């Protein structure tokens, strides 16, 4: 491997239901996964219908650039096509963007703790992640971010709401950063649907702001890998040269368009999260942090995160141990907001685990 890859650790994802059921001798139907911030209502029935309709065309390549999806997104968000790109998950969109802009020896600024894939994609390009520390309330320290900017900086990653902490980044902070730098500011809005507001408006005002989105969360299509971004038009031209051809499958394109046509399901998905979030913050027997996303961060000290995650897994509940997030320590666990029944089961399990010591 090239040296940058040899040094890397593998990406850590949430464990899956089948594997946990097998290892712990629990029926699959009794295992709940609250580890990867998926949609607890499942996909929109309109998306499922669209998948069935397109199955017979599986032998044909999809369009090279998912133009049908770009058009549906343009209509949904009332944005010009020249400002929209799509890819296989936001992960895929990020890979293409960094392929375009990030070269050996370049840098990206990553305020920790946050989503770990920014660091990985930076390494893929033999570039260096530069870490900025967040404030105690996990907000971005704008001054520290700007102090880290130099001629080699290509991206600043601003995650709003942030994963795994759940807080949003105020638009004033995004603006302050965008106005002070020449590099790109990538605002990751994977979870913004569960909050209010968005930085999309800034894409038209600044030629260095990109807003990333995904259909994996509020749109309920994590299994189909669909991401998109709002970009300045000069970025789109370069993106299209570097994107992997045909990278969004026919099934994904059809399902995404089906889901966009089911705003009711989307709204229900957001509503159940907002209510569940409030319930969990009141009922979880550990310190929790305010969240504008579909997950909640818990500080389980004096217990260790690994212990709590393991004890929950024995009870058929998969959670995310945040020890794998750089800069997080070993007392933090992230829980995805589930259905009311799942949330109650989670609270029961956590109360038992806490009471047991
Ligand atoms: N950004 C953040 C902050 C995330 O938490 C995730 C999901 N793990 C992603 C991006 C990736 O989303 P996608 O499923 O669209 O690749």
pLDDT band for position 15 (cuts 50, 70, 90):
confident
User: Does ligand 1 have an atom closer than 6 angstroms to the CB of 159?
Assistant: yes
Residue range 291-346, pLDDT digits in tens: 999 999 999 999 999 999 999 999 999 999 999 999 999 999 999 999 999 999 99
Identify the residue whose tokens are 């880290």.
148
| Residue 356 pLDDT exceeds 80 | no
Q: What is the pLDDT of residue 243?
A: 98
- Return the CATH fold of 45-260: 3.40.640
Using CA atoms of 17, 18, 24, 27 in order, give the dihedral in degrees to the nearest 10.
Answer: 90
Q: What is the pLDDT of residue 10?
A: 86
User: Does ligand 1 have an atom closer than 6 angstroms to the CB of 120?
Assistant: no
Strand partners, 287: 299
The residue contributing the CA closest to ligand 1 atom 2 is 190
Q: What is the pLDDT of residue 236?
A: 98
Residue range 57-95, pLDDT digits in tens: 999 999 999 999 999 999 999 999 999 999 999 999 999
Sequential DSSP letters for 62-110: PPTT-HHHHHHHHHHHT--GGGEEEESHHHHHHHHHHHHH--TT-EEEE
In contact, 31 and 318? CB cutoff 8 Å: yes
User: Does ligand 1 have an atom closer than 6 angstroms to the CB of 161?
Assistant: no
User: Does ligand 1 have an atom closer than 6 angstroms to the CB of 190?
Assistant: yes
Geometric angle at alpha carbon 141, from 137 and 144, rounded to 5° = 145
If you compute the radius of gyration of the chain from its CA atoms, what whole number of angstroms results? 20
Q: What is the pLDDT of residue 258?
A: 98
Q: Distances from the Cα of 11 to the Cαs of 14, 91, 93, 117, 257, in angstroms?
A: 10, 12, 17, 7, 30
Q: What is the pLDDT of residue 248?
A: 98
Nearest to 20 by CA among 332, 309, 222, 223: 309
Residue range 224-270, pLDDT digits in tens: 999 999 999 999 999 999 999 999 999 999 999 999 999 999 999 99
| Residue 137 pLDDT exceeds 80 | yes
| Alpha-carbon span 258 to 278, nearest angstrom | 30
| Residue 357 pLDDT exceeds 70 | no
Identify the residue whose tokens are 């998950």.
89
In contact, 288 and 334? CB cutoff 8 Å: no
Token reading at 60? 């044909």
| Alpha-carbon span 168 to 194, nearest angstrom | 11
DSSP letter at 190?
T
Q: What is the pLDDT of residue 14?
A: 76
| Residue 213 pLDDT exceeds 70 | yes
Q: Is 341 exposed, middle or buried (0-12, 13-18, 19+ CB in 10 A)?
A: exposed
Residues of the chain with CATH 3.90.1150.10: 3-43+264-355
Query: What ipTM does the predicted assembly reach?
Result: 0.99
Q: Is the peptide bond before 161 cis (omega within 30 degrees of 0)?
A: yes
| Residue 204 pLDDT exceeds 80 | yes
Residue 209, helix vs strand vs coil: strand
Mean pLDDT to the nearest integer, 187-200:
97
Residue range 87-103, pLDDT digits in tens: 999 999 999 999 999 99
CA of 335 to the centre of ligand 1 (A): 15
Mean pLDDT to the nearest integer, 202-214:
97
Phi and psi torsions of 86, nearest 5°: -135, 160
CA of 214 to the centre of ligand 1 (A): 7
Token reading at 342? 């799942």
The residue contributing the CA closest to ligand 1 atom 1 is 190
Nearest to 90 by CA among 246, 212, 223: 212
| Alpha-carbon span 263 to 62, nearest angstrom | 25
Atom of ligand 1 nearest to the CA of 222: 14
- High-pLDDT (> 70) share of the chain, %: 99
| Residue 129 pLDDT exceeds 80 | yes
Q: Against a cut of 0.95, is the pTM above it?
A: yes
CATH of domain 3-43+264-355: 3.90.1150.10
């Amino acid at each position: 491997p090239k040296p940058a890859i040899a040094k890397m650790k593998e990406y850590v994802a949430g464990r899956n239901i089948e594997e946990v059921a097998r290892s712990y001798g629990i029926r699959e139907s009794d295992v709940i996964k609250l580890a990867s911030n998926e949609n607890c209502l499942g996909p929109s029935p309109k998306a499922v219908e669209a998948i069935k309709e397109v199955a017979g065309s599986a032998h044909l390549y999809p369009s090279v650039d998912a133009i049908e999806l770009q058009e549906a997104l343009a209509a949904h968000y009332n944005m010009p096509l020249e400002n929209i790109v799509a890819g296989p998950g936001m992960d895929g969109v990020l890979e293409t963007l960094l392929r375009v802009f990030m070269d050996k020896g370049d840098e990206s600024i990553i305020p920790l703790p946050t989503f770990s894939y920014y660091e990985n994609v930076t390494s893929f390009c033999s570039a260096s992640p530069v870490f900025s520390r967040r404030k105690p309330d996990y907000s971005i320290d704008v001054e520290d971010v700007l102090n880290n900017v130099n001629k080699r900086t290509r991206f600043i990653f601003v995650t709003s709401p942030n994963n795994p902490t759940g807080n949003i980044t105020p638009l004033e902070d995004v603006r302050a950063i965008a106005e002070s730098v020449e590099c790109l500011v990538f605002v990751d809005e994977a979870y913004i649907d569960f909050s209010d507001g968005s930085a999309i408006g800034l894409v038209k005002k600044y030629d260095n702001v990109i807003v990333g989105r995904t259909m994996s969360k509020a749109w309920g299509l994590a299994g189909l890998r669909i991401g998109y971004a709002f970009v300045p038009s000069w970025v789109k031209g370069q993106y299209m040269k570097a994107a992997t051809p045909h990278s969004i499958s026919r099934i994904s394109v059809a399902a995404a368009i089906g889901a966009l046509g089911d705003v009711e399901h989307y709204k229900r998905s957001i509503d159940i999260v907002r209510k569940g979030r409030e319930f969990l913050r009141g009922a979880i027997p550990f310190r929790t942090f305010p969240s504008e996303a579909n997950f909640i961060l818990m500080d389980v000290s004096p217990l260790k995160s690994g212990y709590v995650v393991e004890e929950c897994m024995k009870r058929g509940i998969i959670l995310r141990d945040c020890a794998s997030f750089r800069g997080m320590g070993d007392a933090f666990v992230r829980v995805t907001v589930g259905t009311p029944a799942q949330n109650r089961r989670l609270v029961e399990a956590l109360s038992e685990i806490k009471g047991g010591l």
